């Protein structure tokens, strides 16, 4: 069962991916209101799940104009790999006729699959996802 901390983490990571950037800027209180939680819960997630060991830097400013900046780190040797992966995904999205939103979802899915599945499982999941996108499009027409 997912808990609030998981929801906060998922929201922030999704925002990083949707913004197609390695950095996002959010206001802690606005985010807490949006997710119906206390600002301290946002702070907890930031301090435990967005650490340098997990590939993030968090910068925080307090006060009326306060914000939280989350920066996703890429190791130098992984930057070229990430660039190549992004180009492959863009080509894949173009070949399959994916919308920008679908491509963003696929990017997130691939990131999760990369960390949590074996290569043969990943291929099967991607194939199934493409079938479902195609089926949804047929229903919409």
pLDDT per residue over 11-67, tens digit each? 998 888 777 677 899 998 899 999 999 988 998 999 999 887 788 889 888 776 678
pTM of whole model > 0.85?
no
102 or 75, greater pLDDT:
102
Alpha carbon 75 to its chain's center: 18
Residues 119 and 66 reside in one and the same domain: no
Within 10 angstroms of residue 125's Cβ, the number of other Cβ atoms is 15
Q: Which domain holds residue 95?
A: 76-140
Same domain flag for 83 and 63 = no
60 bridge partner residues: 68
The answer to whether 70 and 62 are in contact (CB under 8 A) is no
Looking up residue 44, the CATH number of its domain turns out to be 3.30.56.130
Same domain, 105 and 119: yes
Are residue 17 and residue 57 in the same domain, yes or no?
yes
What total number of domains does the chain contain?
Answer: 2
Pick the closest to residue 70 from 10, 14, 25, 19 (CA basis): 25
**Pairwise pLDDT comparison (77 vs 120), residue with the higher score:** 120
> Which among 72, 88, 123 is the end of a domain?
72
Sheet containing strand 56-61, strands side by side: 23-26, 67-72, 56-61
Give phi and psi for 59, each to the nearest 5. -115, 135
Residues 106, 90: Cα–Cα separation, whole Å: 10
Evaluate whether 43 touches 27 at the Cβ level (below 8 Å): no
- Nearest Cα neighbor of 47 from 9, 21, 7, 1 is 9
Look at the block and give the residue holding tokens 């920008």.
100
């Amino acid at each position: 069962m997912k808990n609030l901390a998981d929801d906060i983490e998922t929201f922030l990571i999704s925002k990083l991916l949707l913004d197609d950037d390695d950095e996002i800027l959010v206001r802690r209180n606005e985010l807490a209101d949006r997710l119906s939680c206390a600002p301290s819960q946002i702070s907890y997630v930031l301090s435990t799940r967005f650490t340098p060991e997990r590939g993030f830097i968090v910068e925080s400013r307090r006060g009326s104009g306060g914000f939280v900046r989350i920066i996703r780190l890429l190791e130098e040797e992984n930057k070229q790999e990430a660039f190549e992966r992004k180009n492959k995904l863009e080509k894949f999205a173009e070949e399959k006729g994916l919308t920008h939103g679908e491509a963003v979802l696929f990017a997130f899915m691939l990131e999760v699959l990369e960390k949590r599945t074996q290569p043969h499982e990943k291929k099967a999941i991607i194939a199934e996802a493409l079938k479902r996108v195609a089926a949804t499009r047929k229903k919409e027409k």
